[in-house]
Structure 1
Amino acid sequence: MRRTVRITVALLVTFTLAAGAPAVAGPAPSTPQWAPLTYSSAPADNPLKGFIPYAGSYETFPYSMEWFYLPLRDVMTGPHQFRWNALEKQLNDIASRGHQAVFRFYLDYPGKPTGVPQYLLDQGLATHAYDDFGNNGVSVAPDYSDPRLVSALEDFITAFGRRYDGDPRIGFITLGLIGFWGEWHTWPYDGWTNPENWMPDTAILTRILTEYDDAFDRTRLLARYPSPQNKDLAIGYHDDSFAFETLPPTSWHFVQRLIDEGVTDKWRTEPVGGELRPEIQSCVFEEPVSCGQYEDYTASVDQTHASWLINHAAFAPTGYPGDEYFRAVQAAKSLGYELTVTEAAVSAQRVSVRIANRGTAPFYYPWTAELAALDDQGRVVARWQTGWTVTGIQPGADPTELSTVINTHGLRRGSYDIVLRMANPLPQGIPLRFANTSQDTHSGWLHLGTVTTR
């Protein structure tokens, strides 16, 4: 159902002329006089895209989102009992920096104490000890087939969605919960590498996926692997071995999995994210590259259409040196959308724009546009809520035309700058900036043209 709604919204953006508010009824205005706007690269810290660090305040690289993990036991204290303080603290800390959060809940993180809710362990939930991945017996893998655990996960997801779906502090949620690091695998305990298979069966995975899809209609979700069980759900994907095990034809590489499941175009409606493989974060932007194993970064972006990647090395105290920094900035900019207003037609009665996407993925959230008139002191003297949204404008497609009536009758005689912005629903959040030279001529606004009232 949600997929149908999103596709419909995208089509409406493309083909519908959105009416502004307040709107003035009357005869259609004369043919608009289009004027070109000059392209200029958008900033690397545009919202909901780019490189992201583990949660914290950093000065070494531009960013708009922050990443964290959270053990389920910190929130779930009993059957249908939840204490959200730990999640609230993380979200509020990140929002205080004007950023959105990307995160995952886990049950089993190698090397960290178990994330399994204590009440389930007290009830006798079976667990597996292991030493792999440097765990040395610290964490334990739960029995994912235990009906008590499955029921607990479904209850948690329902409560999670009811409380946080659409929360502006959240950028994206990766599904988590299942497998090592919440990455939906228990390799080498997969029934092939080792005879034991600790993963839940397909029926249980389907239940978890369906519960997530039902619980979240607005906040965007990402699964670790494309599968027959999630291919038709409104859930995107995250590649946590980006530019390392991404490109085809190897069967377990991310893009080959997309190909095999027939979801290579799913990025058009559902987001792709992930993590630049930790082993290559510090070397992949060198020239020449010294990484022992890596894949072409640009090809990985082009074939996945990723919007964001964890790349904590960019935010280390030393960051990237010299030209390596500028290559990393360009690499961050290449992720996700890059929206530019190619032309604008501005009069005292109507404003129209044509918007193109020069990026590699669409913008996935239905943020709405606002127009304003600024006086010669740069003060906002009138505002118009347009109803416009840039959701779903596809890379490489013809520009999307949007138009709305404005009412300037209440303004004093004089000249006014007409400006546009896509406000972030997060209070004090980073606004979406267009890739134009006239962006931020007035802070946060894109200058479209000038009107004169008489």
Structure 2
Amino acid sequence: MRATDGNRVSMSSGRALLALATVLSLALPLAAASSPASARPDRVTSEKTRTLTPRALGLTADLPNPLRGQYRWFGTDPTPSSVTSNDVYYRDQVYWGRLEKSDNAWDFSLIDAGLADAGARGGKFGFRVMAYCPGCWMNYREDLPAVTPPFVPLQPGTDVPDWNSPGFLAQWRELMAELGRRYGDDPRLGYVDVGGYGSYGEWHVDTGARISDANGLAVVKAVTSAFPTKHVLINTMTPVDFTLAALKANPHLGIRTDSLGCPDMYSMVAVDERLQQVWRTRPFFSEWCTRADPVLGAKQVRQFHVSTLSSSNMPWTHESLDARQRAAYDTALATAGYRLRLRALTLPRSVAAGDKVDVRTSWVNEGSAPTYDRWDVRLTFARNGKATTVSLGEQLRGVVDTSRRRARVSVRGLAKGRYDVSVSVVDPDGYSAPMYLANRGRTSSGTYPVGSLTIR
């Protein structure tokens, strides 16, 4: 028996045709499409195809999942306030001179604060350490340390770090190693910008000597080595050949750009097809440009498969946008990153006690990019206040359009009777809340009811 599109079932010659499956919302009892018994009627009877409908609000529905959509930056609340923004990003707060005022005199209290903020919201924390920030506000505060620590060598006659000096590289590796030792296994930490080199840690300079490719790769390697299980991002204002070399040398390195909504995002991604394919396996994060056009930004989210956007830096308020601009901005927020919907779930109407259950799922991603993290799809069988949960595996990593999966799961140990069945998408590490799907019917525990199964 073969299911197609979650709605139609065809049988080989000699078997009867199957009735058409009924498509209903999760908010109502789910109808069944039944077929005559298979060649083993004592083991498995008819199948039932359940099709879940998208959320009633479509793309405007809020899906507060980690590492997608809008993140909090500069302490700015979500824009608009109705959008959930649980992820937190620090940059100005955690510049190098503030983390290490003198050699090996660590002060990571602000990293701890960012992790605590994200953790309290159930979100993820990300940060970038800047070594040089020309014209930035902290340079004019006498009560704050300099951005560049006093023990970091400078280029002669300037305030620019000596990027190519052994002293700079050794101190950078030491800082990253210490950060990795403390936070590399923290589930609240989602990603780290490479930072370090260039103005604002953006990998470009206007003054002084530039870093060599070999030393630039060493700066990147220090971060990826310190955080081997986290997403690490490099700004795409770097030359294309260097960015490609860094991506090749560091398998979990992703990319970011700081200018969404400006022409070409002031990024090399827009001019190189190879960089435009990175999103398929590694994340692409961004923030709004200070001169952003929301209509252009929404187009770029889709075109370049951007996963995250900032809550700050845009030159307008949500209320000041006209109808076309506001619709574009709202679409950008809704479609940034993954937006997964269970399109159909097929399982037998009943199985014999001790038999295995054949489960087929059909998924669609309505967002601009896949999820790059591990999520476990699970089925829960509940009866008389007791529940048994089984895993269907990590079915969603890398889903960019549609996907169909099949699994056989054991229900050994379940007593005879009728069980309510629900599906959930769970963080196997137990930190993040179950994934919000673009489906109706989410329960308080993060599951989505999909019907029933009888053990006979």
Instruction: Render the CA deviation track for 1:178-216: whole Å, top value 9, x for unaligned.
Output: 1111111112x2xxxxxxx33222221011122333333
- Are the equivalent residues in 2 in contact too, given 1:35–1:344 (CA < 8 A)? yes
Is 2:112 aligned against 1:88? yes
Aligned positions of 1:234-383 closer than 5 A: 234=251, 235-246=253-264, 253-259=267-273, 262-280=274-292, 284=294, 296-312=296-312, 323=323, 327-347=328-348, 349-350=356-357, 351-375=359-383, 381-383=387-389
Shift of 1:237: 1.1
The Cα shift of 1:329 comes to 2.6
Query: What's the TM-score, normalizing by structure 2?
Result: 0.73
Residue by residue, what CA displacement relative to the aligned partner does 1:4-35 show, whole Å, maximum 9, x if unpaired? Answer: xxxxxxxxxxxxxxxxxxxxxxx996785433
Structure 1 unmatched runs, 5+: 1-26, 131-139, 190-196, 286-295
Structure 2 CA distance for aligned equivalents of residues 61 and 88 of structure 1: 25
Q: Deviation of residue 435 (structure 1)?
A: 1.9
CA shift for structure 1 position 228:
4.0
Partner Cα distance (2:282, 2:95) in 1: 26
Secondary structure of the structure 2 residue equivalent to 1:364? coil
Deviations 1:203-249 (A, max 9, x none): 210111223333333211111025243241321111111120326xx
Q: 1:73 to 1:413 in 2, by over 3 A?
A: same
Deviation at 1:265, TM superposition (A): 0.9
Question: How far apart are the structure 2 equivalents of 1:53 and 1:89?
Answer: 14
Give the alignment partner of residue 219 of structure 1, picking from 219, 224, 230.
230
**What does residue 451 of structure 1 align with?**
453
Is the CA contact (8 Å cut-off) linking 1:258 and 1:264 kept in structure 2?
yes
For residues 359 and 95 of structure 1, the distance between their equivalents in structure 2, rounded to whole angstroms, comes to 25
The answer to whether 1:43 aligns with 2:57 is no
SS at match of 2:127: strand
Q: Distance in 2 between matches of 1:44 and 1:418?
A: 19
Q: State the distance in 2 between where 1:316 and 1:99 align.
A: 26
1:451 partner letter = L
Higher-Rg member (1/2): 2
Distance in 1, matches of 2:119 and 2:267, equals 34
Q: Distance in 1 between matches of 2:189 and 2:122?
A: 11
Aligned CA-pair RMSD: 3.3
CA contact (8 A) 1:314 1:320 kept: no
Q: Distance in 1 between matches of 2:43 and 2:177?
A: 49
Q: Deviations over 1:271-328 (max 9, x none)?
A: 1011110222xx636xxxxxxxxxx223312331110111326899976678565543
Are 1:355 and 1:400, in contact at CA under 8 Å, matched by a contact in 2? yes
Contact kept? 2:63, 2:437, Cα under 8 Å? no
Change beyond 3 A, Cα 1:367–1:75: farther
Residue 375 of structure 2 corresponds to residue 391 of structure 1: no
Distance 1:96 1:112 in 2: 28
Within 2, Cα distance between the matches of 1:342 and 1:279?
A: 39
The alignment partner of 2:452 has SS state of strand
1:420 to 2:424 alignment = yes
Distance 1:228 1:269, change over 3 A: closer
SS in 2 for 1:102: strand
**Change over 3 Å in CA distance of 1:165–1:411 after alignment to 2:** farther
Matched, 1:53 2:72: yes
Q: Deviations over 1:52-97 (max 9, x none)?
A: 2214665453223122111123333665664433311221122112
Q: Which residue of 1 aligns with 2:409?
A: 405
Distance 1:425 1:64 in 2: 18
Out of 107, 110, 132, which is 1:108 matched to? 132
SS at match of 1:264: helix
Given that 1:421 and 1:432 are in contact with CA atoms closer than 8 Å, whether structure 2 keeps it comes out as yes
Alpha-carbon distance in structure 1 between the residues aligned to 2:204 and 2:302: 26
AA partner of residue 255 (structure 1): V
Local SS of the residue matching 2:160:
strand
**Is the Cα–Cα contact under 8 Å of residues 418 and 451 in structure 1 kept in the other structure?**
no
Match of 2:84 in 1: 62
Identity %: 19
269-278 or 341-350: bigger deviation:
341-350
Read off the aligned partner of 1:111 and give its amino acid letter. Answer: W
Query: 1:162 Cα shift?
Result: 3.7
Paired amino acid for 1:364: Y
Please tell me whether the aligned partners of residues 63 and 438 of structure 2 are also in contact (alpha carbons under 8 angstroms): no
Code of the aligned partner of 1:62 = T
Instruction: Say if 1:373 and 1:358 are closer, same or farther in 2 by CA, change over 3 A.
Output: same
Is the CA contact (8 Å cut-off) linking 2:283 and 2:372 kept in structure 1? yes
Which of 1 and 2 has higher RCO (CA within 8 Å, sep 6+)? 1
Structure 1 435/199 Cα, relative in aligned 2: closer, same or farther at 3 Å?
Answer: same
Equivalent-residue separation in structure 1 for 2:437 and 2:247 (angstroms): 32
Describe the superposition over 1:362-391 as per-residue Cα deviations: whole angstroms up to 9, x where unpaired.
110112233323447xx5622224433421
Pairing 1:71–2:71 present: no
Partner AA of 2:409 in structure 1: V
* 2:261–2:291 Cα contact (<8 Å) kept: no
* Aligned equivalents of 2:320, 2:416: Cα separation in 1: 52
Once the two structures are overlaid, the 10-residue window that deviates more, 360-369 or 408-417, is 408-417
Looking at structure 1, the residues matched to 330 and 84 of structure 2 have their Cα atoms a distance apart, in angstroms, of 8
Change in 2 beyond 3 A, CA 1:315/1:257: closer
> Any conservation in 2 of the 1:370–1:421 contact (CA below 8 Å)?
yes
Residues of 2 paired with 1:315 and 1:380: CA distance? Answer: 53
1:176 aligned residue (161, 177, 195): 195
SS in 2 for 1:173: strand
Instruction: Sort the Cα spacing of 1:314 and 1:180 in 2 relative to 1 into closer, same or farther, 3 A.
Output: closer
**Mapped partners of 1:447, 1:342: distance in 2:** 13
